Amino acid sequence: MSSVKTKVDHVVVKFAGDSGDGVQLTGTQFAETNALFGNDIATFPDFPAEIRAPLGTVPGVSGYQIHFGSSEILTAGDRCDVLVALNAAALKTNIKSLKPNGIIIANSDGFDEKNLRLAGIDENDNPLNNGSLSNYTVYTTDITKQTKSAVAEFGLGNKESERCKNMFVLGIIYWLFDRDPANTIHFIESHFKKNELVANANIKALKSGYNFGETSELFSNQYEISAASYQPGLYRSINGNQATALGLMAASVNSNLPLFLGSYPITPASDILHELSKHKGFEVMTFQAEDEIAGICSAIGASYGGKLGITTSSGPGIALKTEAIGLATMLELPLVICNIQRGGPSTGLPTKTEQADLLQALYGRNGECPLIVVAASTPSNCYEMVYMACKLSLEHTIPAMFLSDGYLANGAEPWLIKTLEELPDIEPHFITDNPNQADYQPYARQEDLSRFHAVPGTPGMEHRIGGLEKETITGNISYDPANHETMVKIRAAKVENVADYIPRQEYVNGNNNSKALIIGWGSTYGSITTAVRELNHEGLDIAQIHIQYLSPFPKNLGEIIGNFKQVFVAEMNNGQLIKVIRDKYMVDAIGINKIQGQPFQVMEIKESIKQYLK
């Protein structure tokens, strides 16, 4: 049966269900298939902190939003066109993010008396038949029952059969958007390699869902979203944590230093540990430590031993590592600290995103303790920025902090693969042999103030380093007042000098002559860029810069800011970068802030700016 196909440029689909419904997997599969098809994509997985929050309840709702299209996609979308609601709680939680006239695909089994009660909805007020959804196109079917009958032939238990329902849903969606389920079939085959029965049942459910879409006449038409036009090259889909792990490995291979990761599990950073622990062939050593402190300290030990020492964590873990970051700064050893930020303070919002650790990264240590701080702006950009953190740290002998966040960590996008040859060289400042027994001074410096570290095991260069203040050049303990001031200034100047080795700040949109400037950093790149493009299109000439190097800042940052009377700083915190910008450049900047554990919507940024430019 051939159906009518409606051509659209881009669509936002949100899958929502119980946290045990396999929503994340369904979303990931759909995103990957669209990416393989050639669409540009951006995704936003949004899930509860509990592994299995109470079934059917509002806190237990897990969502996965994907924005895909035939033109450039920079955000996961403010609101969705299609909402797949596997139960009443999922509908209740997400209905506000569905566009007027949007499509709802609802699993009627998830709206029975029990599920309505669990969602806190009066059982006589089922939204599927009380008329409250009249502004939407609603497709209702008993997905649970259909899935069970589709897989009945495999003789699985009730629970196992029901568990295939996410594949049935995915099948429907594949049909609706005219996508080939082949990629997911391959995935199921390899994922359930050891359980053929379950694999076959899931494939059957997927195909049944697809066929249901085609034959049920439930849907009036299909949607056609053609491939985006891309720069030629080899692409893959990648999320921020994968990109971070690969970027770290790239730095290890290019610097010819085996990677040592000292880490402690924490959301949303753990996937970097998982990924790196798979790559022993690349001499990647992963140490799951007893706590955050041992994680960073072991990395300092490895770095002292001449390896690429890395530690990964999120805000609360970074807080625990603080003293050791100070030690690494004092020792002047390379070390890369990855902070995958989440909502804080304290335990805060473990699975939600926020940019509230910037001041912690810049200033959060005892004493005068400056670091190199860089931030990634998109999931795939984590690859290059964490690579740069390694490069700068190894070449300048300063610890570097890499900032990502929950949104980047779990969000996926297509990535034009960058091979090792396309990355800059790395020249570590480690000495591993000393043929001429020259008089080694551990704190003698290069022009950029970096030092060379003679690693233990190097003959003739035995020396001691430590956390006590040290004399310039010799590194011996020194309590001399003037020496301390000199050393504090040297450590600060050393970080400032890194500005000579990083790219100049460029505009993302606009130029020196634009009416106003908006500044962003980190994962807000997509929302701000989209907002500015739309404003420019509407006739408001706004310039945009996105800062990736936060300590030190690019040399020309002040010059750029100086061009504008009106400067906005948009960030997902209560105003942190703005403090630094105001302090450093004496500009009366205006903050655009959101602190809800959710990324900016394009609309929110646009409205904030318009309010001031009226």
Contact 58, 89 (CB under 8 A): yes
140 binds another protein (CB under 8 A): no
- What angle do the packed helices 381-396 and 240-255 form, to 10 degrees? 40
262 binds another protein (CB under 8 A): yes
302 binds another protein (CB under 8 A): yes
297 binds another protein (CB under 8 A): yes
Token look-up 């900032």 returns 403
- What angle do the packed helices 182-191 and 165-176 form, to 10 degrees? 160
Shortest separation between residue 354's beta carbon and another protein, angstroms: 29
DSSP labels for 208-231?
HHHHHHHHS---SEEEE-PPPP--
- Interacting residue with another protein among 283, 448, 541, 604 (CB under 8 A): 283
- Number of residues counted as binding another protein (CB under 8 A): 69
Pair of tokens at residue 114: 């029990």
C-alpha to C-alpha distance for 16 and 27, rounded to whole angstroms:
9
Contact 342, 292 (CB under 8 A): no
Give the interface segment with another protein, choosing from 230-238, 263-271, 352-360, 529-537 (CB under 8 A). 230-238
**Ramachandran sector of residue 407 (left: φ over 0; alpha: ψ -120 to 50; beta: rest):** alpha
Shortest separation between residue 562's beta carbon and another protein, angstroms: 40
Cis peptide before 459 (omega within 30 of 0): no
Give the interface segment with another protein, choosing from 136-144, 163-171, 413-421, 494-502 (CB under 8 A). 413-421
- Interacting residue with another protein among 8, 99, 189, 258 (CB under 8 A): 258
Question: Closer CB to another protein, residue 302 or residue 581?
Answer: 302
Shortest separation between residue 337's beta carbon and another protein, angstroms: 14
Shortest separation between residue 45's beta carbon and another protein, angstroms: 18
Question: Closer CB to another protein, residue 158 or residue 231?
Answer: 231
Give the interface segment with another protein, choosing from 105-113, 188-196, 417-425, 568-576 (CB under 8 A). 417-425
- Interacting residue with another protein among 49, 359, 417, 613 (CB under 8 A): 417
Give the interface segment with another protein, choosing from 135-143, 244-252, 344-352, 530-538 (CB under 8 A). 244-252
- Interacting residue with another protein among 265, 301, 558, 575 (CB under 8 A): 301
Question: Closer CB to another protein, residue 303 or residue 360?
Answer: 303
- Interacting residue with another protein among 300, 375, 519, 567 (CB under 8 A): 300
Q: Which of residues 343-372 bind another protein (CB under 8 A)?
A: none
C-alpha to C-alpha distance for 101 and 99, rounded to whole angstroms:
6
Question: Closer CB to another protein, residue 37 or residue 44?
Answer: 37
Nearest by Cα to 523 from 389, 355, 271, 313: 355
Question: Closer CB to another protein, residue 124 or residue 419?
Answer: 419
- Interacting residue with another protein among 52, 274, 280, 504 (CB under 8 A): 280
Pair of tokens at residue 403: 């900032």
Shortest separation between residue 235's beta carbon and another protein, angstroms: 5
Pair of tokens at residue 367: 């004493």
196 binds another protein (CB under 8 A): no
324 binds another protein (CB under 8 A): yes
- Interacting residue with another protein among 73, 89, 246, 266 (CB under 8 A): 246
Per-residue contact string for residues 455-494; x = within reach of another protein by CB under 8 A: xxxxxxxxxxxxxx-------xx-----------------
C-alpha to C-alpha distance for 10 and 227, rounded to whole angstroms:
10
Question: Closer CB to another protein, residue 49 or residue 465?
Answer: 465
* 3-state secondary structure (DSSP) of residue 366: coil
What residues contact residue 498 under an 8 Å CB cut-off, 6+ apart? 372, 392, 396, 398, 448, 552
Burial (CB count <10 Å: 0-12, 13-18, 19+), residue 194? exposed
Give the interface segment with another protein, choosing from 47-55, 302-310, 349-357, 530-538 (CB under 8 A). 302-310
Question: Closer CB to another protein, residue 59 or residue 467?
Answer: 467
Paired with 6 in beta bridges are 223
114 binds another protein (CB under 8 A): no
C-alpha to C-alpha distance for 239 and 411, rounded to whole angstroms:
5
Shortest separation between residue 492's beta carbon and another protein, angstroms: 21
What residues contact residue 168 under an 8 Å CB cut-off, 6+ apart? 143, 146, 147, 150, 205, 206, 208, 209, 212
Q: If you ran DSSP here, which 8-state letter would residue 47 be given?
A: -
CA atoms within 13 A on the CB side of 341: 27
- What angle do the packed helices 143-150 and 196-215 form, to 10 degrees? 120
C-alpha to C-alpha distance for 322 and 390, rounded to whole angstroms:
19
Interface contacts to another protein, rule CB under 8 A: 32, 35-36, 38, 183, 230-237, 246, 249-250, 253, 258, 260, 262, 279-285, 287, 289-291, 293-294, 297-302, 304-307, 309, 323-324, 326-327, 331, 417-420, 455-468, 476-477
